[in-house]
Amino acid sequence: MKTTHKKFAVLLLTATALLAGCTSKEYAVDSSAANSQALNFAWNADIGDLNPHLYAPSQWFAQAMVFEPLVQYGEGGKVLPALAETWDVSLDGKSYTFHLRKNVQFSDGSPFDAKIVKKNFDAVLANKEKHDWLELINEISSTEAVDTDTFRLNLKNPYYPVLQELALVRPLRFLGEAGFADDGTTAKGIKKPIGTGPWVLSEYKKDDHAVFTRNEHYWGTKPKLEKVTVKIIPDAESRVLAFQKGEVDLLFGSGQISTDSFKMLQDKGNYETKVSEPLATRVLAVNSNRGATKDLNVRQALEYGFDKKTLIDKVFYGYEKQADTLFSPNFPYCDLNLKPYGYDVEKAKQLLDAAGWRLPAGKSVREKEGQPLSLDLGYDSGDQVQKTIAEFTQGNLSKLGIQVNLIGEEYQTHVKRQMSGEFNLIFSETWGAPYDPHTVVGSMREPSHADYQAQAGLAMKKELDQQITRVLVTTEETERQNLYRSILTTLHEQAVYLPISYMENVAVARKQVTGVNFLPTQYEVPFSTIELK
């Protein structure tokens, strides 16, 4: 699709037909392979070095297979024991004492105790500038190994989301002693991913595959699967073809296959297909500090001119639900009754006219002082859903006289574009539970995030950052509510986010794959409950 929704629809139908034509053949699956409890799983990117204390290119799901937190995020937002069985909080809210699970070992047989917990925390704190997007890191004053099974975390101020942020996939999970670099740090890399989790990385070929085997030292209920092979297949259609050929047993996640492919596989009736509950918000971050989108009128015109209903109905087939605010109202402090912009093409055109972007006679793109109204939209080329929405956006906004230049890049390059602010529009998302809203809001102060770049041109950016810092440390509930209302209302009115839909994970599995369930957070795959029948 280039300029019109009609063209987009034709291309979408053509692509669907081609995909159905080239992947409609079904292939027999070797039943003996299923009986071996070995699962083949496809993913769009290399798993990375699995340093528990760092981020991309390491993939969330793979880090979560190997490493565990002190506490875990459960159904309904409940914080549950993990490597810590119990914990106590001081009356002033500034000290958390964790009583560690006894007789836990790392995958190499070495002990998990308070000494290694402290070493991991101290390694993260030694690289603090890498993690200052996470307010908990900024609030830690000291760490203590009280005794073998007791660890204490001391804070500068009371901080209400402590437990939620300790449950995150990264950076506060635990590496075994032998995995540290010789100087005892992890900032520049690790020797080997040694964790306490149910899986061990036993074989790895960069950009090709990774093999995880069951951790025989695991303290909890061991997985029924013996082996998970992650096949790195960057192209979405190739992942579907590999699945249909029997080379892959499970497709899982958001963006791993297109909605067309999911519907096609679902309609066949030969596979188990599932869609999760809404997990996070899919948005376009709108840069208030670059080109035409510096103008509030232009940003609000994008809000009014984006046809979400057609996107949801025709592209997502109703699988995802329309989002009108940055955070879903069911998250704490987010039910603010903010007025949706709504779809109003005439209002959008009036705002563009007011901004000085007018449509010359006989032309399809608006101009101002002889320059075309041209916006750059960045997306991850490996994410089929982002690609589809980007193409829709290009056609949709052309109706307003806006030229949208699509910039599809591999994941790492896409992330660098987010960090640099070299975009007018770029795909972003909230992170769902347990991150929303506190961790995401806290990260808005970090220049390496798309959120910061999108907000950088706002006259009230400094005040916003001050409010964010305050909302995370105040102990007064009324003040916290008022601050969140002010922060989220400002972001909504300034139109630096164009909410699209509430993201969901999808799963497509072969019939013999059982136990495929959705977890409370969006970044983990339920390998530990899966069994091959």
The CATH number covering residue 303 comes to: 3.10.105.10
**Chain centroid, CA 313 distance in Å:** 23
CA 164 – CA 422 distance, rounded (Å) = 32
* Structure-block tokens of residue 286: 């709108």
For the chain, the domain total comes to 3
Same domain for 380 and 440?
yes
Whether residues 364 and 424 share a domain: the answer is yes
* 402/338 same-domain check: yes
CB atoms within 10 A of CB 529: 14
* Closest alpha carbon to 342 in 392, 368, 384, 308: 308
- Strand 403-409's sheet: what is its strand order? 321-322, 497-503, 280-286, 425-429, 374-380, 403-409
Other CB atoms within 10 A of residue 422 CB: 15
Task: Give the residue ranges of DSSP H helices in 25-156.
Answer: 31-35, 60-66, 114-126, 128-131, 135-139
Position 445 scores a pLDDT of 93
Report d(CA 445, CA 9) in Å as an integer.
39
Rounded distance, CA 49 to CA 106, Å? Answer: 18
Q: What pLDDT was estimated at residue 26?
A: 42
Question: Could you tell me if residue 246 is inside a domain?
Answer: yes
The 3-state DSSP composition of the chain as helix, strand, coil percent (nearest 5) reads 35, 20, 45
Q: Tell whether 182 is covered by a domain.
A: no
In a shared domain, residues 263 and 168: no
* Same domain, residue pair 212 and 299: no
- pLDDT, residue 35, reads 58
Residues 478 and 524 grouped into a single domain: no
Look up residue 122 and give its DSSP letter.
Answer: H
Same domain? 430 vs 285: yes
Strand order in the sheet with 209-214: 199-205, 209-214, 227-232, 38-43, 250-253, 506-509, 272-275
* Contact status, residue 167 vs residue 34, Cβ threshold 8 Å: no
Domain that holds residue 454: 281-503
Name the 3-class secondary structure at 212: strand
Please, what is the angle between helix 477-493 and helix 461-473, to 10°?
Answer: 150
Question: Does 184 map to a domain?
Answer: no
Write the DSSP symbol of residue 265. Answer: H
Per-residue model confidence (pLDDT) at position 75: 84
Q: In this structure, is residue 148 part of a structural domain?
A: yes
Closest by Cα among 11, 218, 192 to 101: 218
The predicted pLDDT at position 119 comes to 99
CATH code where residue 74 lies: 3.40.190.10
- Does residue 57 sit within a domain? no
- Asked if 155 contacts 94 with a C-beta cutoff of 8 angstroms, the reply is yes
Q: Are residues 413 and 374 in the same domain?
A: yes
Average pLDDT by stretches of 10, the chain with 533 residues: 38 38 41 70 96 95 98 89 98 97 98 99 96 93 98 96 95 98 96 98 98 98 97 94 97 90 93 92 97 98 98 89 93 94 97 98 96 97 91 97 97 91 96 89 92 97 96 93 98 98 94 95 94 96
| Three-state DSSP class for residue 528 | helix
Beta strands in 276-373 (DSSP E): 280-286, 321-322, 367-368, 371-372
Residue 17 is predicted with a pLDDT of 39
Residue 189 within a domain = no
Residue 441 φ then ψ, to 5°: -60, -45
Is the same domain home to 156 and 80? Answer: yes
Query: Is 141 found in the same domain as 92?
Result: yes
* 467 in the same domain as 323: yes
Residues 302 and 260 in one domain: no
The reply to whether 5 falls in a domain is: no
pLDDT of residue 255: 83
pLDDT at 30: 46
Q: Tell me, yes or no, whether 8 lies in a domain.
A: no
